[in-house]
């Protein structure tokens, strides 16, 4: 029963975290609003059923303001931009601390274990950070999948007589996120006085994609020496689509190896749980005896090493 309440408490904390992010995303949409929030544009937001969440967020923004210039906060700013989450690093730090304290209190109230509560408090910010890293990776993969269609759209717009900036506006309006949100951010930067070359370079650093780096290089060279940009983008689009096809083939060929890695990692734990349920006396040796605990530790370390070795084998760079 205590485990049930513990899980319920964690779920409640995560629901609050995700609700706050969803509200911020709806109000910000990663556009000029996101860049002006520090200048109290948020004070003019519409009121309604979201007043409570809005007040919570405004309080979070005020509390996070003193730490906005910390190096850690600035690094988190960039990471959150990569993840497409429209909050700043200082706000994320404060939110992580609040959720960590909540995890500490919930864990202690449920378990009355003072040694377990700090572990829960530390695990909550780490879990949030891991979630952001996963989101960055997923967002980059989704962007790469859309890049071929994006280049085709841009080249067709250029042939129709649009300028490159107008073609980017078409992409921002017609395509799905994350492609549309990234180009929307570029057009917003240009509208605020940033040069096109600098806006594209900033977008390239956010995405950290070798495929898009090729696109940015081609666009910058074409703006320096001229040439048929539509034809260049068609050639790059064909190259990128071929690379995506190759990645999918490699993923299909290495699927068995990745599945084997997860099976080898999880199977011992499943067998241990089964034996603990049906033959607990035999499993007590691994808990009560020193030799058994050493065997468990060595087995766990070898499992982790084997898992990463298999993952490294099947991770083929393209």
Mean pLDDT, residues 212-239 taken together = 84
42/303 Cα distance (integer angstroms): 50
- According to the model, what pLDDT value does residue 193 have? 84
C-alpha atoms less than 13 angstroms from C-alpha of 16 in its C-beta half-sphere: 15
- According to the model, what pLDDT value does residue 47 have? 45
107/101 Cα distance (integer angstroms): 10
68/58 Cα distance (integer angstroms): 15
pTM score over 0.75: no
Of 86, 93, 43, 90, which is closest to residue 69 (Cα–Cα)? 90
Residue 152 CA to its chain's centroid (Å): 27
Of 146, 159, 161, which is closest to residue 215 (Cα–Cα)? 146
50-85: pLDDT as tens digits: 566 666 667 666 766 777 677 777 788 888 888 878
Q: Locate 6 and state its tokens.
A: 């513990």
The residue with tokens 């996101």 is: 34
In angstroms, the Cα distances linking 30 to 4, 81, 260 are 37, 9, 40
> 285 pLDDT exceeds 70?
yes
Mean pLDDT of the chain: 77
Supply the DSSP symbol for 192: T
164/234 Cα distance (integer angstroms): 14
Of 52, 41, 47, which is closest to residue 19 (Cα–Cα)? 52
Q: Locate 17 and state its tokens.
A: 């975290």
96-116: pLDDT as tens digits: 888 888 888 888 888 777 777
- According to the model, what pLDDT value does residue 275 have? 83
């Amino acid at each position: 029963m205590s485990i049930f309440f513990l899980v319920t408490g964690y779920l409640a904390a995560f629901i609050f975290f995700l609700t706050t992010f969803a509200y911020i995303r709806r109000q910000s949409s990663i556009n000029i609003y996101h860049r002006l929030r520090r200048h109290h544009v948020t004070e003019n937001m519409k009121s309604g059923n979201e007043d409570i969440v809005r007040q919570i967020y405004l309080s979070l923004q005020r509390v996070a303001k003193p730490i906005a210039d910390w190096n850690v906060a600035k690094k988190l700013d960039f990471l959150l931009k990569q993840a497409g989450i429209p909050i700043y690093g200082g706000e994320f730090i404060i939110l992580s601390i609040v959720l960590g304290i909540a995890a500490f209190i919930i864990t202690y109230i449920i378990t009355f274990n003072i040694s377990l509560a700090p572990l829960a408090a530390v695990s909550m910010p780490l879990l949030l950070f891991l979630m952001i890293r996963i989101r960055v990776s997923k967002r980059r993969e989704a962007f790469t999948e859309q890049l071929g269609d994006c280049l085709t759209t841009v080249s067709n717009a250029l042939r129709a007589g649009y300028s490159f900036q107008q073609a980017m506006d078409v992409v921002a309006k017609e395509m799905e996120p994350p492609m549309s949100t990234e180009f929307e951010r570029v057009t917003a930067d240009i509208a605020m006085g940033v040069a096109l070359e600098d806006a594209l370079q900033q977008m390239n650093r956010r995405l950290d994609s070798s495929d898009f780096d090729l696109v940015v290089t081609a666009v910058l060279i074409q703006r320096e020496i001229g040439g048929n940009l539509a034809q260049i983008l068609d050639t790059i689009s064909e190259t990128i689509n071929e690379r995506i096809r190759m990645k999918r083939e490699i993923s299909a060929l290495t699927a068995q190896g990745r599945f084997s890695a997860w099976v080898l990692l999880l199977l011992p734990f499943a067998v241990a749980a089964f034996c603990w349920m049906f033959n607990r006396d035999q499993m007590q040796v691994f808990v009560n005896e020193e030799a058994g605990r050493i065997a468990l530790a060595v087995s766990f370390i070898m499992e982790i090493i084997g898992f990463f070795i298999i993952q490294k084998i099947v991770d083929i760079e393209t």
